[in-house]
Amino acid sequence: MPEAPLIIHGGQTIVPREVERVLLSHPGVAEVVVVGVPDRFSGEIVGAAVRLLPSGRCAAELAEFCRARLAHFKVPVRWLFTGFLPRTVDGAPDRAALTGQLAVAAPDRSSWPSATKDLRIPQQVRRSWALEDLDYL
């Protein structure tokens, strides 16, 4: 099976196999393909096409599962839940088709962290940016 192209997110290199391995370790996931989705701000964002088992859960649970096991920039932002994953003639996942589907799909906002809880910035840094801490205003 051909190796998936690397995802470049804001200068960070992400190997899709690593994210796929983590998602496949979740008991509700049957099959997953991770691709880079073009993004005008960070180059590419991580997108995941997932086929769930009947006992599968939602994107919020899978995102939380990934946050506990991956670096913050490797957690998928776009999710596509499907009954089957498109395949090429040789049986490999059709990454180009999945990238297109994830690019036009509206992001699942239920899996996004709220701005008050998780800005992907450590709490101590976020505290230092608070306006009440700035003495020159």
Domain assignments of the chain as residue spans, ordered by start: 7-112
This prediction has a pTM of: 0.73
For the domain spanning 7-112, the CATH number is 3.30.300.30
Name the least confident of 57-71, 76-90, 107-121. 107-121
Task: Give the pLDDT band of residue 111 (cuts 50, 70, 90).
Answer: very low
Choose among 58, 118, 52: nearest CA to 83: 52
Q: Which amino acid is at 20?
A: E
Kindly tell me if the per-residue pLDDT of 119 is higher than 50.
no
Kindly tell me if the per-residue pLDDT of 68 is higher than 70.
yes
Q: For residue 87, how many other CB atoms are within 10 A of its CB?
A: 11
Range 86-95 contact pairs with CB under 8 angstroms and sequence separation of 24 or more? 92/1, 92/2, 93/33, 93/49, 95/4, 95/5, 95/33, 95/35
Residue 52's beta-bridge partner residues? 29
96-106 residue pLDDT tens: 999 998 888 65
With tokens 């590419």, the residue in question is 44
Report the pLDDT value the prediction gives residue 59, as an integer from 0 to 100.
Answer: 75
Mean pLDDT, all residues of the chain: 79
Task: Look at 118 and 87; give whichever has higher pLDDT.
Answer: 87
Report the pLDDT value the prediction gives residue 116, as an integer from 0 to 100.
Answer: 46
Cα–Cα dist 132/117, whole Å: 18
